[in-house]
Structure 1
Amino acid sequence: MNEVIIATKNSGKAKEFIQMFESYGITVKTLIDYPELPDVEETGETFAENALLKAESAARLTGRPAIADDSGLVIDALDGRPGVYSARYAGIDKDDKANNRKVLKEMAEVVDDQRSARFKCVLAVSFPDDRESIIVEGDCEGRIAYEESGTNGFGYDPLFIPEGFDQTMAQLEPNMKNEISHRAKALRKLQVSLTELDGGMK
């Protein structure tokens, strides 16, 4: 595998994937490089279903192996919300600030020991031939802060304090985030499974 399509137009996610794959000498392209491709409607009820929808569509339309992720924030005190609706939690438009404001409002009365949460990532790899798709997942446990802090991340990063840290994900250096993030953990699992792809990633 010397080229892979990352089925996202999210520049933040794209940057993380590029950083993760560059040490393997693998060229990364994203849906930003294929503006003619239609958006895939995320109609799944789980992270895995949505990741598969996106990966299978990208592989079929580009003729290349494609990786898609569906990820989000799962908050225990909110019965798992925002979950699969993380990107559009505050409305149909993807608005990180509005999403964060909504979460903070809903968590305003939640005490310290009940603010547990996790970032969850499901990665799906699909192929343009008849090989079966691969699915792996990774979690990053932590808790919800009382206010936004940090500028290094995107999405809910300014609200999420990873387990073992006193800083939010958005306050951590990118290299550290890429060590502990849900996406990094899922990718490490994926590396074990990619032996089917031209000998896999060495």
Structure 2
Amino acid sequence: MTRVGLTGGIGSGKSAVTALLRERGAVVVDADVLAHEVVEPGTPGFAAVVERFGDGVLDSDGRLDRPALGAVVFADEQARRDLEAIIHPRVRARAAELEAAAGPDAVVVHDVPLLVETGQAELYDLVVVVDVPVETQIERLASNRGMSRAEAESRIAAQATREQRRGAADVVIDNSGTLADLADAVDVLWRRLAPRGSVTPPG
């Protein structure tokens, strides 16, 4: 098994890279998906979030109101750390379960947005960073998620710097070009990752 840690700043296009790797045969473990899963109503994670942040972070259906919670934690560093302390251990435990279910020859790609911030780089055989200029991140967050420039800059500032991520990388994928450029870069990465003859890339 080859264990890959994939990260990148918000708006860098990690989801496009993970989709391309999944097409080529990788087993993708998405920390964002798991972060939602571990705080679904009825889970211990959900109970812990409500205990810490109160009913004000719930919507009318009794589920987490993520924009409301996000507004709290991105304005208060201690609140953000408290939320991370609830979610991150549960996500890591669930990720370990999914990895254990993959075959011995699998390429398991862990999509971890806060890989650098949480000091997880040494846990993987290879760390891949999806990289774009900060201004590109801001433009994408405005066009794709409707964020104001101030909101985008706040989200970016809450993460590791571009230099910190690149410093932790074994491989840097530049995603400031076209989708075709990105696919070519992923092909190069896949040839490095995949056991010889195990998977035939698409196309």
Q: TM class, shorter-chain normalised?
A: 0.3 to 0.5
Output the TM-score relative to the length of structure 1.
0.34
Higher fraction of helix: 2
Higher fraction of strand: 1
Whichever of the two has the greater Rg, that structure is: 2
